[in-house]
Each structure stands twice: as structure tokens, then as C-alpha cells.
Chain A
């Protein structure tokens, strides 16, 4: 008799099949309309991609770390890894083909800051499990590289857990950067994420968040300061339970041949009464070769909910610009000041002062090229 196939192996096998059926997403797939991955990446490249290098730079005491490249995953990894899978072709690919990655577990009431760095091309898989009332800040940084990188992240937040994630991806003109995040947020837990993307050949962060228990919250924010290149945030928040809250605030500044994309879908499931959701996405379009696509979307299946969404794209305000210049501020500096002001409230969502400073630094460098 054959040895029983582990749950994890079964999920991986399913993921291989899912990727092969779906293939690399192209612009005729609705969710990938503004980010034609197929045009820049072949399926063979995905299947043959190597292992993305990663390093956990700070790890608080009491946080368990397991290297997925080492065999024999412990039970908690076996049980969880891939359990939030099947959100899309690229997510399936990272589960199916990634040869590297790690799993983190934070025990009940544990807390601290975890810094992770991904470098170079390849695929990786990440699992983060927060037990009840654990509170962790996850800071993800990346090096500039060329080639294809695909990272699949699963986040499991237990009751009353707090996870604050920041993803800072520097400008990398020759990088195809995909990150798919799936999160399950239990009762009274709060998941915050900030995505600062300075553009790649194609750069996309996809979030699938389930507010699965009453009182669960998610707060998403992000900035794209693009003087060329592409940056896409596609988020789907499902209010699966009642009395859940979600907010989203995304700001893009695009010049040159840049393209900024935000797609935000909020689903309030049947019976998820008392849910509250707000979405704001704004774009500043500089020059006529840049493009910003903002697509907020609401799907409400419950009766008693509060939902608001808004999206707007504009140019720098001529009156404001004249006012600043009439006070002696040269045009380029005045433009940068207004762009900074436009982006500011989204950057200010970042709680960590040091991360906020790094993001501002990257924003200022990008704006210099735009003003």
C-alpha cells in the first residue's frame, strides 16, 4: 500500500493543476485587465522559476520560524499552508512551484516586530499564524532586481490578534513582481496593510481578505509614486461576518509612461449586518502618456450595512501652484510639495515611524523625477 498523501501534498497537487488550467493571466481575464501579465511572462517561466531568496532580519523572542525548504514541516504548517489557497492562478503557482519560503507562528499574547527581505527573482511561499491576541508588525522590504518574482502569502489571524504589515517595493524597471496575500481575520482581530509600490515592469499586490469573525477589521492603504513603470493593487475584502469594518485609502501619482492600477472590491455577505466599509482611491495624472485606473466595487448582500466608496483622478491644481510660486517657491519644488500633500494622508496610515520615514524617502525620490 502507498503511504497516505499528506494534506499539504494534496493541496500542492491541486495548485499545480489549477495553475495549468488557468495559465498566466492575461488582459481578457477581468481582474487582470489593466495588468497583462501574459504579455510579459510565459507559463514555462513560472513553472521553472527558481527559489526567491529571503531573509528574516529581525525575529522577536517566542516567534517560531520554520524554513519551508527544510523537509518534514511540523503539524501547524502541514495544517495551514495552502489552506487559504485558490484565490488565483499566480497564488496557485507559488504554492505549486515555490521551493523556498518560511512559516511563522506567534503564540498566544506574543508580540514584536518581524523584518523580512526578499531579494532576486524566483518564487516563495509565506505562512504567518497569529494565535489569539498575538500582535505583530511585519515589515517587508525588497531589493531592486530584474526578472520574475512571485510570492504567495497566507495570514491567519486568531481571535483578537493584530497584524500590521507594510510592503515597500522599490522602483525596478525590469522586474515582474507579483505578491498574492490571503488573510483570514477572526473575531475582533485587526489586519492592517500598507503597500508602497514605486513601480516595476509589472508590479502587482493582490489581497484577499476574509473578515471571518464578528468585530474583525481590516485597514488597507497604499501609495504608488511612479515616474514610469507599473504598479497595481487589487484587493477583495469579504465581510463574511456581521459587525466587521474595512477601510481602504490608496493614492497614486503617475507621470511619464507610468500606469497605476487600483481595483478594490468589497463584498458584504448575506447576513453580515452591521458591517461598515469605506473605500477611497485617488490619482494624480501628470502628462498625457501616463495612465491611472481606479475601480472601486461594492457587492452588498446584507440589509443593514454602511458602505461608501469614491474615486477621483485629476491634475495638479493650477491655483495652488500659482499661490506657492507667488511666494517664491520654484515650480519644481512647488509641484513636489503639492504631490507630497496629495499622497500624505495615505503614507500617514503607516504606524511605524521608521517605516514611514523610509516610505517618505522613496516617495521624495520618485517625486523628484516627476516634478
Chain B
């Protein structure tokens, strides 16, 4: 599904990713753990195609295609989804209008028939109930005045709506209390599927108690320095990043 080879990337002229290699197969959930400044968010933005994140070496192959030459919207319509750490507030665009516009833009790009307003509402309601997103929230401007938990729930609602093949979750646990975390994790787990891969990026092991990964990778200074099964997350929690990084060196 996703093959990243010797990836180097710069932000503001500074190299952040320094030879990152990673492979995620269909049906797998991989966790990327790393301390602040290790390049976690840079990796997620590079995968989503954000401007200003310059790839200086290596490759990213998604379903056999070069991902790096695609625009962010092309990536999305081909099934790449990034649940953002800080979902953006957009005044003046209601949440429902946004969901409809995005869903139909993706469908159009894939040559599929667009869904009419009634159909979108039915689809959204179905997904919204599970994520406890109220009708009132859907009528509000996108993310405006939403609490941290509401924003993250809306991200997962989008993931459920768009049904991506590759979902990247960037610090989805940040700013969530335990109830919200459980709800979000349940939403993510419900989307685990044999034809879907997930990359869960997090600082803490806590989220991985609820979204149990198949593989765990430790990111430090722009490279994967250690890999293992789900138990690696617990080891990290027990020893701390500093010790693991020292051990790996």
C-alpha cells in the first residue's frame, strides 16, 4: 500500500526527514512514535502534499504510484486521508456544505456519480451518530467554536465518510480526555479493514491501548531508529525516548 524509501524532506530550508524508510501493507495498522521535533508532523504533511514541505530525496510510492507528484486533492481522491492534529476553523462554510463539497469532489475525480443533497445528508447522519456529532454541529461553520474533542470526532467522521485506503492520523489523541479518546479509537477501529492501511502518529503510548497497532516504529531526528510489535510502545512508555534512542545508537 505505502512504500517510503530513504525519504529526505526540508521545511523552511531545514532538513527534517533524513532518510526515512517505511512500508505499510493493506489491512495493517502501523504506529509511528517519536519525541517532539522528530519529524512526525512533517511526515504526515509530506504524505498529504502540503506546500512548503520540499522533498529533497527518496521516494513515496502509494498503490504503485509516485505520490509525490500528486496534488493534495488528487491524493485525497485516490484514497489518502490525513486526520489533522489541528483541524482548521473555516468561518462561513457550514460543516455539512464542506462534507458534501469534499465527498462529491472526490467522487467526481474518480469518475463516480455525485451524491445529491439528500443522499449526502443520509450518509453523514449515519456516520455522525457513531461519532456523536450532532445535527447542530453539522449546521455550524466548519470547526468554528468546536471543542478539541469535537474537532477530532469530526476528523474521524470524515474518515468514515470518505472511506480512504490509507489513513494517516496525526496526534489524534492530543487534547482528548479519556472518554473522547475511547470514542475516537472506537471510530478508528470500526474502519479497520483488509483493504485499508493506517498510520497512527503519536507521542504517547496511551492511544495505542485503544488502537492496537500491528507494527510500531520509533522516529528520531528524521529517521526510523527502531521497529517492533505492539509491545515496543509499552517499552517506550517504560524507558522513555531518551533511553531507547541511546540503545539504538
B2 smallest CB distance to A (angstroms)? 16
Would A338 and B76 be within 8 Å (CB), given that A322-B50, A322-B51 are in contact? no
Distance A340 CA – B141 CA, assembled complex (angstroms): 13
Would A329 and B101 be within 8 Å (CB), given that A322-B51, A338-B90 are in contact? yes
Asked if B92 is at the interface (CB within 8 A of a chain A CB), the reply is yes
| One of B3-11, B55-63, B102-110 contacting the partner | B102-110
Q: Is the CB of B90 within 8 A of A328?
A: no
In the complex, which residues of chain B have a beta carbon less than 8 angstroms from the beta carbon of A323? 84, 87-88, 90
Q: Is the CB of B87 within 8 A of A327?
A: no
Which residues of chain B in 91-118 are interfacial with respect to chain A, using CB atoms and an 8 Å cutoff? Answer: 91-93, 98, 101-103, 105-106, 109
Contact with B along A317-333 (1 / 0, CB 8 A): 11110111111111101
Bin the interface of chain B by size: 20 to 34
Q: Of all chain A residues, which has the CB nearest B106?
A: A328
Q: Which of A320, A329, A337 has the most CB of B within 10 A?
A: A329
A347 smallest CB distance to B (angstroms)? 10
Q: Is the CB of B88 within 8 A of A319?
A: yes
In the complex, which residues of chain B have a beta carbon less than 8 angstroms from the beta carbon of A318? 51
Q: Is the CB of A329 within 8 A of B105?
A: yes
Q: Is the CB of A345 within 8 A of B102?
A: no
Q: Which of B77, B101, B102 has the most CB of A within 10 A?
A: B102
Asked if A341 is at the interface (CB within 8 A of a chain B CB), the reply is yes
In the complex, which residues of chain B have a beta carbon less than 8 angstroms from the beta carbon of A326? 48-50, 72-73, 75-76, 82, 84
Distance A333 CA – B114 CA, assembled complex (angstroms): 15
Distance A337 CA – B102 CA, assembled complex (angstroms): 11
Q: How many residues of A contact B (CB 8 A)?
A: 23
Asked if A360 is at the interface (CB within 8 A of a chain B CB), the reply is no
B128 smallest CB distance to A (angstroms)? 16
Distance A153 CA – B13 CA, assembled complex (angstroms): 59
With beta carbons under 8 angstroms apart, the residue of B48, B88, B102 that contacts A329 is: B102
B45 smallest CB distance to A (angstroms)? 9
In the complex, which residues of chain A have a beta carbon less than 8 angstroms from the beta carbon of B134? none
Distance A330 CA – B109 CA, assembled complex (angstroms): 9
Would A327 and B102 be within 8 Å (CB), given that A318-B51, A322-B50, A322-B72 are in contact? yes
A310 smallest CB distance to B (angstroms)? 15
A318 smallest CB distance to B (angstroms)? 7
Q: Of all chain A residues, which has the CB nearest B86?
A: A319
B85 smallest CB distance to A (angstroms)? 12
With beta carbons under 8 angstroms apart, the residue of B75, B88, B103, B162 that contacts A320 is: B88
Would A345 and B72 be within 8 Å (CB), given that A323-B84, A326-B82 are in contact? no
Q: Is the CB of A324 within 8 A of B102?
A: yes
Would A345 and B73 be within 8 Å (CB), given that A326-B49, A326-B82, A328-B106 are in contact? no
Main DSSP-derived SS at the A contact region: helix
Distance A328 CA – B71 CA, assembled complex (angstroms): 9
Asked if A42 is at the interface (CB within 8 A of a chain B CB), the reply is no
In the complex, which residues of chain B have a beta carbon less than 8 angstroms from the beta carbon of A342? 92
With beta carbons under 8 angstroms apart, the residue of A317, A322, A333 that contacts B101 is: A333
In the complex, which residues of chain A have a beta carbon less than 8 angstroms from the beta carbon of B172? none
Would A330 and B84 be within 8 Å (CB), given that A318-B51, A322-B72, A323-B90 are in contact? no
Distance A329 CA – B71 CA, assembled complex (angstroms): 10
Distance A4 CA – B101 CA, assembled complex (angstroms): 69
Distance A325 CA – B158 CA, assembled complex (angstroms): 14
In the complex, which residues of chain B have a beta carbon less than 8 angstroms from the beta carbon of A337? 93, 98, 101
Would A328 and B51 be within 8 Å (CB), given that A320-B88, A341-B92 are in contact? no
Q: Is the CB of A325 within 8 A of B71?
A: yes
Asked if A314 is at the interface (CB within 8 A of a chain B CB), the reply is no
Which residues of chain A in 155-197 are interfacial with respect to chain B, using CB atoms and an 8 Å cutoff? Answer: none
Q: Which of A320, A325, A328, A330 has the most CB of B within 10 A?
A: A328
Asked if A60 is at the interface (CB within 8 A of a chain B CB), the reply is no
In the complex, which residues of chain B have a beta carbon less than 8 angstroms from the beta carbon of A320? 88, 90
Taking Cβ atoms with an 8 Å cutoff, the residues of A that contact B are 317-320, 322-331, 333-334, 337-338, 340-342, 344-345
5 more A-B residue pairs beyond the given contacts A320-B88, A328-B109, with a C-beta to C-beta distance below 8 A: A323-B84, A326-B75, A326-B84, A328-B73, A334-B73
Q: List 22 A-B contacts (CB under 8 A).
A: A318-B51, A320-B88, A320-B90, A323-B84, A324-B98, A326-B50, A326-B75, A327-B98, A327-B102, A328-B77, A328-B162, A329-B101, A329-B105, A330-B71, A330-B73, A331-B73, A337-B101, A338-B90, A340-B92, A341-B90, A341-B93, A342-B92
Taking Cβ atoms with an 8 Å cutoff, the residues of B that contact A are 48-51, 71-73, 75-77, 82, 84, 87-88, 90-93, 98, 101-103, 105-106, 109, 141, 158, 162
By Cβ-Cβ distance, the 8 closest A-B pairs, closest first, are A341-B92, A328-B76, A328-B106, A327-B102, A325-B72, A323-B88, A344-B92, A328-B105
